[in-house]
């Protein structure tokens, strides 16, 4: 009786939520101006101001992972970066991702020139922030203003970048309402924070609005799950001593998450999981709700959601949009995966990971959308004793977190460092 009453009360509380009116903001500007570092820092600042979605629409293989990993292992970062060119498949994916983005802050990172490909990608966006290094002249800035004019994008402002350590940062709102500022040291080797970017985050927060929207009862958010285990937003230290409030998930919290979701899995109803978190957390949540069907939110795809596959089995050397390799180790199977282009969510049913040695856990190591990694993890969930999901993790470098386990010798939430995987 207590569980039924608890679930009813909990469900009624999340029927009505504040929904952000989305603003898809293009961050454009010439190469080597610091866009990737700026967006990495901006994403962390916006985490406490509303939901966001980073849309990496440049085919250079870079993203937030680049900066996170560079902080602990610069050599590995340089090895993993994949510089690429636009393909029709990539441009179509990026165009759809921008069009379908419904997050309050859609942060669109594009290539360094106002190319025809970038025009296609950005035609469904709403606004533009220009990021330009001091090595570029006014004519380059004007080319991006013209880019916005042609696409009907509202120019929100300009961030000038310099590597001159003697320069003084500033930020201001000009009489025309546009933001302008100077950020010093937007370089992944030396970046220590920026008051200019912090001011930009506040400016963008004021430019977006909120509205109320009814939510279905079978929707559960990551922040609600945090509340169920008593986890509250806390201080997160950023470069330069900046501290923000947000959910800083720890691997050791996974057993509590798993236990808290048991009553929900018993209902047998399908669940829609909304909100961001480490891939190992989302994999753990999905497994904890088994045997219920699970769908994950992703505003970058058509319809804004992806259903996780059920009753799939590993097959051969793997099938689908990802290139799989398996390295059998004493501790388990290291399953690597990668793709030159984003995985097509419509082909997710065809994605099958490779068969691995019986009786040993798998360690997942790769870059793909969260729903891709979670789908791989759940495909393994009943054929291996445990599934570890890899991720760069601050000072610990690259680690593997146990997200799924069916044996007591593999504890959910336990961590294996990459260098200890033998």
The reply to whether 198 and 289 lie within a common domain is no
Structure tokens at 48: 């406490």
| 3-class secondary structure, 324 | strand
pLDDT at 85: 63
pLDDT at 255: 96
pLDDT at 131: 98
Lowest mean pLDDT among 92-101, 174-183, 335-344: 335-344
The reply to whether 332 and 298 lie within a common domain is yes
The reply to whether 182 and 269 lie within a common domain is no
Spatial CB neighbours of 262, under 8 Å, sequence gap ≥ 6: 288
Structure tokens at 52: 């966001």
pLDDT at 395 over 50: yes
Task: Specify the higher pLDDT residue, 275 or 30.
Answer: 30
In a domain, residue 6? The reply is no
In a domain, residue 3? The reply is no
The reply to whether 119 and 254 lie within a common domain is no
In a domain, residue 17? The reply is no
CB 385 within 8 A of CB 371: no
How far is Cα 87 from Cα 89, in angstroms, rounded to an integer? 5
pLDDT at 217 over 80: no
Lowest mean pLDDT among 50-59, 153-162, 172-181, 349-358: 50-59
**Overall number of domains in the chain:** 2
The reply to whether 104 and 231 lie within a common domain is no
pLDDT at 69: 44
Task: Specify the higher pLDDT residue, 9 or 126.
Answer: 126
Structure tokens at 382: 């009943």
pLDDT at 45 over 50: yes
Q: How confident is the model at residue 209 (pLDDT cuts 50, 70, 90)?
A: low
Question: Residue 198's domain spans which residues?
Answer: 22-208
Residue that terminates a domain, selected from 208, 237, 253 = 208
In a domain, residue 11? The reply is no
Q: What is the tens place of the pLDDT at every residue in 369-387?
A: 899 999 999 999 889 999 9
Q: How confident is the model at residue 71 (pLDDT cuts 50, 70, 90)?
A: very low
pLDDT at 171 over 50: yes
Q: Which CATH number belongs to the domain containing residue 160 in this structure?
A: 3.40.50.300
pLDDT at 21: 59
pLDDT at 80 over 60: no
The reply to whether 184 and 327 lie within a common domain is no
Q: Which pairing describes strands 323-328 and 333-338: parallel, antiparallel, or unpaired?
A: antiparallel
The reply to whether 188 and 291 lie within a common domain is no
The reply to whether 196 and 330 lie within a common domain is no
Q: How confident is the model at residue 248 (pLDDT cuts 50, 70, 90)?
A: confident
The mean pLDDT value of the chain amounts to 84
In a domain, residue 36? The reply is yes
Q: How confident is the model at residue 341 (pLDDT cuts 50, 70, 90)?
A: confident
pLDDT at 147: 95
The reply to whether 292 and 395 lie within a common domain is yes
pLDDT at 82 over 60: no
Lowest mean pLDDT among 27-36, 55-64, 154-163, 231-240: 55-64
CB 255 within 8 A of CB 281: no
CA dihedral of residues 255, 259, 262, 263 (deg, nearest 10): -150
Q: Which of 120, 111, 114 is CA-nearest to residue 59? A: 111
Lowest mean pLDDT among 18-22, 182-186, 314-318: 18-22
Structure tokens at 225: 């799950």
DSSP conformation class of 76 = H
| 3-class secondary structure, 18 | strand
Q: What is the pTM of this model?
A: 0.60
In a domain, residue 4? The reply is no
pLDDT mean over 140-153: 94
pLDDT at 20: 46
Residue that terminates a domain, selected from 185, 208, 231 = 208
pLDDT at 163 over 60: yes
Q: What is the tens place of the pLDDT at every residue in 93-141?
A: 889 889 888 778 889 999 889 999 999 999 999 999 999 999 999 999 9
In a domain, residue 144? The reply is yes
State what percent of residues in the chain have pLDDT above 70: 84
Q: How confident is the model at residue 396 (pLDDT cuts 50, 70, 90)?
A: low
Q: How confident is the model at residue 66 (pLDDT cuts 50, 70, 90)?
A: very low
The reply to whether 267 and 297 lie within a common domain is yes
pLDDT at 311 over 80: no
pLDDT at 68 over 50: no
pLDDT at 177 over 80: yes
In a domain, residue 136? The reply is yes
| 3-class secondary structure, 240 | helix
Residue that terminates a domain, selected from 208, 237, 263 = 208
The reply to whether 258 and 369 lie within a common domain is yes
The reply to whether 204 and 223 lie within a common domain is no
Strand partners, 337: 324, 366
pLDDT at 257: 96
């Amino acid at each position: 009786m207590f569980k039924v009453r608890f679930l009813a009360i909990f469900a009624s509380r999340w029927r009505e939520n504040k929904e952000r009116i989305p603003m898809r903001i293009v961050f454009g500007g010439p190469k080597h101006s610091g866009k990737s570092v700026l967006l990495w820092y901006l994403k962390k600042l916006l985490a406490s101001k509303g939901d966001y979605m980073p849309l990496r629409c440049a085919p250079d293989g870079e993203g937030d992972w680049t900066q996170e990993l560079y902080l602990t292992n610069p050599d590995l970062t340089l090895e993993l970066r994949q510089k690429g060119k636009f393909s029709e498949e990539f441009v179509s994916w990026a165009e759809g991702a921008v069009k379908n983005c419904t997050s309050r802050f859609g942060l669109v990172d594009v290539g360094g020139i106002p190319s025809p490909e970038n025009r296609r990608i950005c035609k469904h966006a709403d606004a533009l922030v220009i990021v330009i290094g001091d090595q570029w002249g006014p004519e380059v800035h004007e080319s991006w203003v013209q880019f916005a004019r042609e696409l009907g994008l509202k120019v929100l402002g300009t961030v000038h970048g310099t590597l001159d350590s003697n320069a003084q940062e500033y930020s201001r709102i000009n009489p025309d309402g546009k933001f302008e500022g100077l950020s010093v040291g937007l370089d992944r080797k030396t970046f220590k924070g920026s008051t200019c970017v912090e001011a930009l985050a506040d400016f963008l927060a004021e430019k977006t609005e909120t509205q109320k929207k009814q939510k279905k009862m079978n929707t559960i958010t990551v922040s609600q799950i945090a509340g169920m285990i008593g986890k509250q937003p806390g201080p997160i230290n950023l470069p330069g001593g900046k501290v923000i409030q947000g959910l800083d998930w720890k691997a050791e919290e996974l057993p509590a998450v798993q236990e808290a979701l048991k009553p929900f899995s018993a209902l047998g109803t399908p669940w829609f999981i909304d909100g961001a978190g480490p891939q190992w957390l989302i994999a753990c949540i999905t497994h904890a709700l088994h045997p219920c069907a699970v769908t994950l939110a992703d505003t970058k795809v058509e319809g804004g959601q992806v259903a996780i596959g059920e009753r799939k089995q590993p097959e051969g050397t793997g099938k689908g949009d990802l290139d799989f390799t398996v390295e059998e180790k004493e501790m388990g199977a290291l399953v690597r995966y990668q793709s030159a282009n984003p995985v097509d969510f419509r082909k997710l049913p065809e994605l099958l990971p490779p068969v691995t040695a019986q009786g040993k856990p798998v360690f997942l190591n790769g870059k793909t959308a969260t729903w891709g990694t979670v789908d791989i993890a759940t495909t393994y969930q009943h054929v291996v004793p445990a599934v570890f999901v890899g991720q760069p993790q601050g000072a610990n470098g690259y680690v593997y977190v146990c997200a799924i386990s069916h044996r007591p010798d593999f504890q959910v939430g336990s961590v294996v460092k990459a260098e200890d995987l033998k």
